[in-house]
Amino acid sequence: MKRILWTLFPVLALALVLAGQALAEPLTIAAGAGYKKPVTELAAAFEAASGTKTELVFGNMGQVTTQAKTSGVVDVVVGEQAFLDKAGLAFSGVAPIGQGVLVVAWPKGKTLAAPADVARPEVARLAMPDPQKAIYGKAAREYLDKAGLAQAVDGKLLVVATVPQVTTYLLSGEVDAGFVNRTDVLDLGPAIGGYLEVDPSLYAPIRIVAETLAEAKNPEAAKAFAAFLATDPAKAIAKKHGL
């Protein structure tokens, strides 16, 4: 019986939060650009389940946290928990979404046998997100340092703002390889040459969460969204996108 009650709790919590409410003001969710697809799908599913409209903002995490601090319109921020906890924002609650995975990908016509092949001479141009502003750039830098590859690749790095920008270079063939997240490459299929997951012991764990701002303009909708993220449909969406 206890197991059944705990399984039903997220659904009941969501229903209780929404019962009798007509939330006219939209819920504004800001997220890292590398999670545009799962966040967009989660928001659409939440809208369908609750009737609450959502507005979405995407960018690198530096842009996202700055907008959350200054705009006064952001209710929820989706990103990596450790990064958000150091961003100087006040949060009132956190809801887990999933675990992020760093991968190295390459364009059509190329191939890598192992992530460490990014140090080989045939990889003349290697793209990565900005380590100061994007969590997967930070993870890629940690990997390169811990794997002893930094000196070999630093001269050929192309540092861009976001994961999707790295993907754009991969799709165009303008780089020989790039660091992105598993979420961003899952749907690309034959549009790229392939990808390999990086050893997770060589970078800090990436816990993707949705955190509600303490001064959220729509706290009840934010609470409902957090409850929705704990439901089976939301978990299925996160899993589908590699989280």
In the block, tokens 């609470």 appear at 223
Query: Smallest Cα–Cα separation from 27: which of 215, 214, 217, 210?
Result: 217
pLDDT digits (tens, 9 = 90+) for 91-148: 999 999 999 999 999 999 999 999 999 999 999 999 999 998 888 999 999 999 999 9
Indicate if the pLDDT at residue 16 is higher than 70.
Answer: no
Q: Which residue has the higher pLDDT, 241 or 14?
A: 241
Residues contacting 235, CB < 8 A, separation 6+: none
| pLDDT of amino acid 1 | 39
Q: What is the dihedral of CA 43, 243, 106, 41, to 10 degrees?
A: -10
The confidence band for 24, taking pLDDT boundaries of 50, 70 and 90, is low
* Domain shared by 91 and 115, yes or no: no
Per-residue model confidence as pLDDT tens digits over 163-213:
889 999 999 999 999 999 999 899 788 899 999 999 999 999 999 999 999
My answer on whether 133 and 20 are in the same domain is no
Q: In this predicted structure, what is the pLDDT of residue 61?
A: 85
On whether both 106 and 189 belong to a single domain, the answer is yes
Q: What is the pLDDT of residue 124?
A: 97
145 and 170 part of one domain = yes
Task: Note whether 94 and 108 are same-domain residues.
Answer: no
By residue range, what is the domain housing residue 220? 2-100+205-240
Please report the sign of the dihedral spanned by the C-alpha atoms of residue 85, residue 89, residue 93, residue 94: negative
Domain with 121 in it: what CATH number? Answer: 3.40.190.10
The share of the chain scoring above pLDDT 70, in percent, equals 90
Q: Give the chain's domain count.
A: 2
pLDDT recorded at residue 62: 85
Predicted confidence (pLDDT) per residue in 99-112, tens digit: 999 999 999 999 99
Task: Give 70: exposed, middle or buried? Use CB within 10 Å, 0-12, 13-18, 19+.
Answer: exposed
Residue 163 is assigned to a ligand binding site: yes
Is residue 213 located within the same domain as residue 162? no
How many C-beta atoms surround the C-beta of residue 193 within 10 A? 18
Residue 21: the pLDDT is 43
The pLDDT score that the predictor gives to residue 6 is: 35
